[in-house]
Amino acid sequence: MDTAHVNYLGDLRTEATHVRSGQHFNTDAPVDNKGRGEAFSPTDLLATSLAACMITTMDIVARDKGIVLQGVKARVVKHMASGPRRVQRVEVHLELDGSTLGAAERELMEQTAHSCPVAVSLHPDLVQDIHFTYH
């Protein structure tokens, strides 16, 4: 079964539809690459998917281990390079409520984030600069 369908809308924009749910979103080329930057660019999605995968995988592991994971959010910063144009580095700043997490649980969550499916699928030359802050 297909995962997604992507239709070109013209003017450097696409619409992606998740086949199973019907959910959809648009992409737009970034301003620094001839677009209007009015939606996520494909490279924005790549960087953002890393953070979303980390959080999702951390929650799966936390649930399986009976760990309460709360107050999780991420800030993502994408750094581009040229020659060829590519994502060179992604910063993911993860913030978690650490009040319910001991040292072992924090270590488990950090290891889980670093080994999420997106993280291990990205090319090794793409720098994953991951930071954890516990409140």
Q: Where are the domains of the chain?
A: 4-33, 42-134
Sheet holding 127-134, edge to edge: 73-81, 86-96, 127-134
- Tokens 């592991």 found at: 61
**DSSP code per residue over 56-111:** HHHHHHHHHHT----S-EEEEEEEEETTTTEEEEEEEEEEE-GGG--HHHHHHHHH
pLDDT per residue as tens digits for the range 4-56: 999 999 999 999 999 999 999 999 999 999 999 999 999 999 999 999 999 99
Share of the chain above pLDDT 90, in %: 99
CATH class in words for 42-134:
alpha beta
Under 8 Å between Cβ of 2 and 16:
no
pLDDT tens per residue, range 66-109: 999 999 999 999 999 999 999 999 999 999 999 989 999 999 99
pLDDT of amino acid 108: 98
pTM: predicted TM-score of the whole model, two decimal places: 0.95
